[in-house]
A and B are shown apart, each in its own frame.
Chain A
Amino acid sequence: MEGTGMTETMNSFPWLTILTLVPIVGALAVLAMGGRNKSLVRWTALAFSAISLLITLVLWHSFNSAADGFQFQELHAWIPSLNVSYRVGIDGLGLLMLLLTSIVVPIGMLASWQIEERVPLYFALVLMLQTCLVGTFTALNFFHWFIFWELALIPAFFLVRLWGGSGSAKAAMQFLVYTMVGSVAMLLSFLAIFLSTNTFDFSEIATMGQNGTLMPAVVAKLGWHLLTPEHVALVIFFGAFLGFAVKVPLFPFHTWLPSTYAEAPSGTTILLTGAMSKMGVYGFLRILLPIFSPEMQKVLNLLLWLAVATVVLSAYTAMAQKDLKRIFAYSSINHLGYCLLAIFAVAKYTGGDAALTTQKFAAMNGVFLQMFNHGLTAATLFWFIAMLEKRTGGVRGLDDFGGLRKVIPVFTGLMGIALFSSLGLPGLNGFIGEFLIFKGSFPLVTWATSLSVIGLLITAIFILGVIQRVFSGPLKEKWAQLPDLTLGERLTLVPVIGFMFALGLYPQLILGVVNHTAIQMAIHLRNF
């Protein structure tokens, strides 16, 4: 079976299961502690997330970046009657997502330090979310993957609902219903696939998808006489597509996002944008693309238009926002739109053209890097917004500020770096992902890539606008006494900012590990 070649012995030390369970143990510990000693609760939760980070770094170090297939695999029988097995493993992409999660969660926790209500429950939910994220990034069987995909909605819903702003009830409900509709569609599609192939294993289904045997099996089994076989294939594809499109999000399934990001407490927004949105892109890469690339090729132009709309319209809308959180909520949609542009470009039929295949490798690497770098940068940006809110008592409108660099110079400097990273300034981490995406996609889907450049331009405009409106210009009297960054904040921020520079100047840090996986993923796509 391609793609499942094992370079380690089966059932080596169960690192991935442990990594999945550590946060849930932490959640139970934190709940058991009760709310009397809030400080202890926060530090305990942080400690557990630090353990996860440590384990992830161990995995990073032991990972063999030249090997095919999945590593650290574990395989156990689970529900033989349904051909469901507990199978976990990671390749370069999975490892990268685990690293991102283990960095974003502590940042989210630190940004939530000032929460005073129901503290144990808050941090328990954050840890529960981390378990679900790790679960989705390591699962290789649909049944078990879907459990974590759905379970993640519970902590996310309550984090937004119970600690959110005034509009949080409506936002949380919208978030939930949207995601659920997508999930139900995806579930139905995969059940149809199971009926036809008798497997829930991603690798096996992907092999069938690439061989061209999947859809004929589905069509034969379903016996729908009203639709042609091509249409049946597209319906099944669309169901799965909807589940992921809502999560990323892709235009026009994005309308749940801005309210949810804005109403959520900033610590939660960090988790939503830094990690949860990557679940959607991961789903496109791990599941949708390998299984359905033939169907994607058939509707490629439509998909590309949706990606372009996502990129350009979200940037344009961001420019019109007055709430800092909404600006970066829309900006998140924009940054992930580039990922989808590249994914669709990679799906394109190019025959055996070697030059274009090399471009696909570049685009794929770009997607991986963009996922990681956007996660890091967006998390940091919302962290700064949280720190600003803490100082201003919740005020975060664009027009409320001005001239802050005179009062909080260190804050300005560091947030400025994060802002430039989001803009895509070379030398910082935000540049390399976008560069590779554009470089790879341009020869493949020239018109779509060219239109997407507009997104880059508009992003530059509104980010510079933020810098100008918030940090330069006349200072309002009420902010004249704003405290600058504390020592604790500086100690925690500087490594993150440093990491942004490191990745910007030496992307090989990540590329070295993920490049092989990116190439393998692109190669295994059928071109017919």
Chain B
Amino acid sequence: MLAWTIYISFLGALVLLLLPSRSAALVRVVALATTLVTFAITLTAFLQHRSGEMFTVVDHPWISSMGIHFSLKADGISLTLLLLTGVIGVCGVLFSWNIDHRIKEFFAFYLVLIGAVYGVFLSFDLFLLFVFYEIVVIPKYFLIAIWGSTRREYAAMKLVLYSFIGSAMVLVGLIAAYVVAGSKSMSLGDLAGYHYSPHFQMWAFPLVFVGFGVLAGLWPFHTWAPTGHVAAPTAASMLLAGVVMKLGAYGCLRVAMTLFPLGLAPWGFHVLGLGSWRDVFAVLAVIGILYGALVALVQKDFKFVIGYSSISHMGFILLGLMTLNQIGLSGAVVQMVSHGILAGLLFGVVGRMVYSRTHTRDLPALGPMHLSKLLPFAAFTFVIAGMASMGLPGFSGFAAELMILIGVWHSYPTLIFFVGIGLIAGVAYIWRAMQQAFFSGSSAIVVQPEHPLPPITFPEKLGAGILICSSVIVGTFPQVFLNVIHPALNSPLFQGLRNGGW
């Protein structure tokens, strides 16, 4: 049934393109209905498959001569991320209710994007995964280039180029893996079970990891992200930062780390205190956390603050992956969900609630507008989102970061201090942005916006409400997700990783 998430999304896109373009309302309703149905499917699947074990959704031979199957499977980790995609998909549509320029094409591209994302999370055949991974890029380009804002063509091109370079690296690694394993099968299970030589894994792992890492915002390959997210229209930013970046992290975990676990082993020598690719990526992750936070702290553009904060939060995910213990890895998966929700909320407030009304994102200019009085709901939502983003207990960010930090204490205690600084910087940039955007300005200077700001609409409130509730649920009952994530991490697929014992 989960396969229908992919089919319905693509079908929805097709339906939209065939609709007469007169009725904007009909277009929106169709888009919303499509995302709601796919969300319902993911939710049902999540609730049904309590065990978290890998199960097959679809398995057909496709190009049998090359051992490629149309093979879709899901385990606890996939189910969690599919659920995230479902929620963000719905909320993205809600936050885009006001788009009036070429609405059909917008939502069509949107649905294709969502469908491809579902495809990546479900794919068990690496060729299929790569196909979906590439399909994701195309709607991204158009969404940014046509409906975006600041420097949109440049941002779209940069994003696409980086994505393709990353994908190319992944492709080389995957083909190498396929060939070395005898060119018999592209199934993840088969390839993960094959014993590649340590020497092979030692170069294949970083290649594939960095390839996926580009999309995950791994420092220093992250520069496409802030530009891209800022240029993108709100819904696209929500999807990009919220879900698509998680594709990269998912690829790191599901593909790179399962196929080539020995690539994480110690080299036997040290360079600058680093003794393995694991050390390298852990340090890069921490640099990403700090860099993202510190750069966010000095931004004048509200959306850039959020863009850089995404880099910082993705750093936590990558660090969690490198801890290689159950609690750190589970924390990384929960952080994928948490940041997905919170990025959605933050871009929703900044892009949809504020920017589409004030037509400025410049923090010093927003202050005198006294937005906390003009747009109290936006202020309230940003406060909640900001609190959650900085790791306030009770919300999803805290639960995730708690687990990652415990994992880091276990594996890299020396890095803890730097992560602590990152946490504090995280508090600082959120509060600064919040103060300047909503609560700044003495009453002496009041700048009236050129036209009265329209009130916050119902779809926006609904979208914000859904996301806030989701964050609170994940934050107060993380056990629900841990129940399916832990069995997935203990499955045979991750055996090589567990055997590492480093």
Contacts and interface: CB of A to CB of B under 8 A. Distances in A.
**Chain A contact surface mostly:** helix
B431 interface: yes
B450 to A, nearest CB: 26
Interface in B461-483: 477-479, 482-483
Nearest to B410: A195
Contacts of A78: 479
B389 to A, nearest CB: 13
Contacts, number: 77
A403 B409 CA distance: 62
A168 to B, nearest CB: 10
A109 to B, nearest CB: 22
A79 B478 contact: yes
B30 to A, nearest CB: 36
A154 B431 contact: no
A177 B482 contact: no
B455 interface: no
Interface in A183-216: 184-185, 187-188, 191-192, 194-195
A173 B424 contact: no
B478 A151 contact: no
A166 B394 CA distance: 32
A509 interface: no
Interface string A222-261: 1110100000000000000000000000000000000000
Contacts of B365: none
Contact of A184 (B394, B420, B431, B435): B420
B428 interface: yes
B405 A191 contact: yes
A45 to B, nearest CB: 19
Interface in A431-489: none
Contacts of B306: none
A509 to B, nearest CB: 36
Given A161-B439, A162-B439, A184 B424 contact: yes
Contacts of B402: 82, 143, 187, 191
Nearest to B330: A81
A147 interface: yes
A173 B479 CA distance: 34
A351 interface: no
B266 interface: no
Given A173-B431, A181-B424, A185-B420, A147 B393 contact: yes
A150 B414 CA distance: 25
A395 B223 CA distance: 54
Interface string A311-334: 000000000000000000000000
B6 interface: no
A151 B406 contact: no
A305 interface: no
B413 A222 contact: yes
Given A181-B424, A222-B413, A147 B405 contact: no
Nearest to B372: A162
B397 to A, nearest CB: 12
A81 B413 contact: no
B435 A173 contact: yes
A396 B30 CA distance: 63
Contact of A79 (B406, B427, B482): B482
Interface in B398-433: 398, 402-403, 405-406, 409-410, 413-414, 416, 420, 423-424, 427-428, 431
A29 interface: no
Contact of B393 (A146, A169, A177): A146
Given A147-B393, A177-B427, A224-B413, A188 B405 contact: yes
Nearest to B380: A121
B423 A184 contact: yes
A180 interface: yes
A176 B427 CA distance: 9
A307 B394 CA distance: 34
A221 B410 contact: yes
A352 interface: no
B424 A194 contact: no
Contacts of A173: 431, 435
Given A169-B435, A176-B431, A191-B405, A79 B410 contact: no
Interface of A: 78-82, 143, 146-147, 150-151, 154, 161-162, 166, 169, 173, 176-177, 180-181, 184-185, 187-188, 191-192, 194-195, 221-224, 226
Given A79-B478, A81-B330, A150-B392, 12 more contacts: A79-B479, A81-B486, A147-B398, A151-B392, A161-B439, A173-B435, A177-B427, A184-B423, A184-B424, A187-B402, A194-B406, A222-B413
